[in-house]
Amino acid sequence: MAPNSKGTNQYGDKNWPPDDVLQPELYLYAMERLTIDEKRDRFFKRFGISIGKTALCAMNKKFNTPSVRKPMALDLVVQQIMEEADKDAHGRRGSEVVRTNLRRRSNLLVPRRVVRETLALNQPDVVEARMPGNAPPRKPLRALGPDHQHHSDGWEKIGALAIRMGGVGVPVYATKDQYSSKYLQGIVVPNDRLEDVIVHTYLDRVAAVGGIPITEVTDLGSEHGVWRNIAQALRSEYAPDLDPEIAPPTLGLKSTQNTPIESGWRGLREYSGHNLFSAMTAGEGLFNPACMLQRCLFFWIWPPIVQGEVDDFIAYWNVHRIPYNAEKVNPSGVPPNHAYAVPEKLTRYPGQHCLIPVPRARIEEIRAGLHLTREQALSFVSPSFDRAARQVYTELHLPRVTLNNAWQTFIAMMPGLTLIYPHRNPEPAFVFTL
């Protein structure tokens, strides 16, 4: 009888998931540049199956998973690198950002050396001008694991006070997990200083992750008052054994001390913020803030563009490998997605999952008790104007609205909207009437 004639080994018989589930999972591991052992840990976490190195390599080969050891022709690689670099009009994205986005968008893994040399050869002035800024001194942060502390804050670098275009702007509100550095949420909001708006974003995040952290950390703004009350009530209801004196349910800090999220804004500013600011303010001579029709059209066009850029930044951030830092107590040297998914497998600073589950029905019960509905709190335009704008946009057969053609779209749509609203103003979004 031949040895191991049944083909089984120490890992046991396997009930493998279907190919349409396996392939995107393996591609995700490639995008995050996980090591073989990290891939095996994530595979077990996702499917509950222990996979050997040989089987993992066979699957990667079967699905043609991207690898730096399987490069495409150099001239095609250079073309892809420059196409990605050209998306950054201000040249603020370094070689590692370009490299990560090539993995995300094109399933292309390129050695860091090739990216650096290509950018240095084709954009020498841009590379030379991109110098790291000065950061304030920080103390090492320590968390028990994912969902120990969530840090939240608003970003107003393209808000009304920043762009100075007559009161219009698109603030962003986001939340970051301290332990893993993973962004859990990033959403454009019409007003990041209105209580019900902030509470709805909080409830969206609780629903998305399935629960609450041990501690919610925000700045000291009054817009977080109702949120803190809700967070404290949920902690007391679903984790009554946690001592609030030792592990407070909420924590208010000065903005300069809320460093996990505050430092994250620099990444967004360098990745998309400068480009968004320049593109938005380029319409200063075209836009009349005193015209309600133009204000509504601004809010119909720009928030989806900003949301797309925020989504793209978060997708990049969560799969990029954070540089190893010997002085950092929380994880470094791994992607945020990986640290959040399998904290118990991290060798330098293993953690434990701290999420406190909250039923979806409880979230919706709280939402129903707010003054504003979710649609009223988070909409930039009224339903009636949205229907009118979609009608004009469709009739004109306009291309997809992007950062580069937003104001051309604005100009093209104004005549059609003027015909719909010849002698009256369109109804603004409810949140702008408060």
Summarize pLDDT for 261-310 with one digit per residue, the tens: 888 888 888 888 889 999 999 998 899 999 999 999 999 999 999 999 99
User: Which residues make beta-bridge pairs with 428?
Assistant: 381
Which pLDDT value is given to residue 402? 93
CA 274 – CA 251 distance, rounded (Å): 31
- Structure token digits, residue 101: 């986005």
Q: Mean pLDDT over residues 86-91, rounded?
A: 69
Which pLDDT value is given to residue 109? 67
Which pLDDT value is given to residue 1? 45
pLDDT of 328 higher than 90 = no
Mean pLDDT, the chain, whole residue set = 85
* Residue 318, number of CB atoms within 10 A of its CB: 19
Which pLDDT value is given to residue 303? 97
Which pLDDT value is given to residue 119? 67
The closest alpha carbon to 340, from 88, 45, 97, belongs to: 45
* Residue 341, number of CB atoms within 10 A of its CB: 19
Summarize pLDDT for 373-424 with one digit per residue, the tens: 999 999 999 999 999 999 999 999 999 999 999 999 999 999 999 999 998 8
Place of tokens 């969902």: 147
3-state secondary structure of 317: helix
pLDDT of 317 higher than 60 = yes
The closest alpha carbon to 166, from 292, 275, 303, 300, belongs to: 292
Q: How confident is the model at residue 4 (pLDDT cuts 50, 70, 90)?
A: very low
3-state secondary structure of 185: strand
CA 271 – CA 269 distance, rounded (Å): 6
Q: How confident is the model at residue 92 (pLDDT cuts 50, 70, 90)?
A: low
User: Which residues make beta-bridge pairs with 155?
Assistant: 172
Summarize pLDDT for 94-143 with one digit per residue, the tens: 777 777 776 677 666 666 666 666 666 566 666 666 555 544 555 667 88
CA 109 – CA 83 distance, rounded (Å): 15
User: Which residues make beta-bridge pairs with 174?
Assistant: 153, 186
Q: Is 234:211 a contact under the CB 8 Å cutoff?
A: no
Helix-strand-coil split of the chain, %, nearest 5: 50, 10, 40
Q: How confident is the model at residue 28 (pLDDT cuts 50, 70, 90)?
A: confident
CA 430 – CA 303 distance, rounded (Å): 16
Amino acid at 58: A
Which pLDDT value is given to residue 222? 80
pTM above 0.95, yes or no: no
CA 327 – CA 405 distance, rounded (Å): 45
Summarize pLDDT for 184-229 with one digit per residue, the tens: 999 999 999 899 999 999 999 999 999 999 999 998 888 888 999 9
Q: Mean pLDDT over residues 338-357, rounded?
A: 91
CA 184 – CA 253 distance, rounded (Å): 20
Amino acid at 374: R
Q: Mean pLDDT over residues 317-329, rounded?
A: 87
3-state secondary structure of 14: coil
Which pLDDT value is given to residue 6? 44
The residue ranges of every structural domain in the chain are: 19-62, 74-129, 149-291+303-378, 383-433
Summarize pLDDT for 45-85 with one digit per residue, the tens: 888 889 888 888 888 888 887 775 655 565 666 677 676 77
> What is each CA distance from 40 to 20, 132, 347, in whole angstroms?
19, 36, 14
Which pLDDT value is given to residue 123? 65
Fold of 149-291+303-378: Nucleotidyltransferase; domain 5 (3.30.420)
Which pLDDT value is given to residue 134? 47
Contacts of residue 116, defined as CB under 8 A and 6 or more positions apart, other chains included, come to 95
* Residue 332, number of CB atoms within 10 A of its CB: 18
Size of the chain in residues: 434
Which pLDDT value is given to residue 37? 86
Radius of gyration of the chain (CA): 24
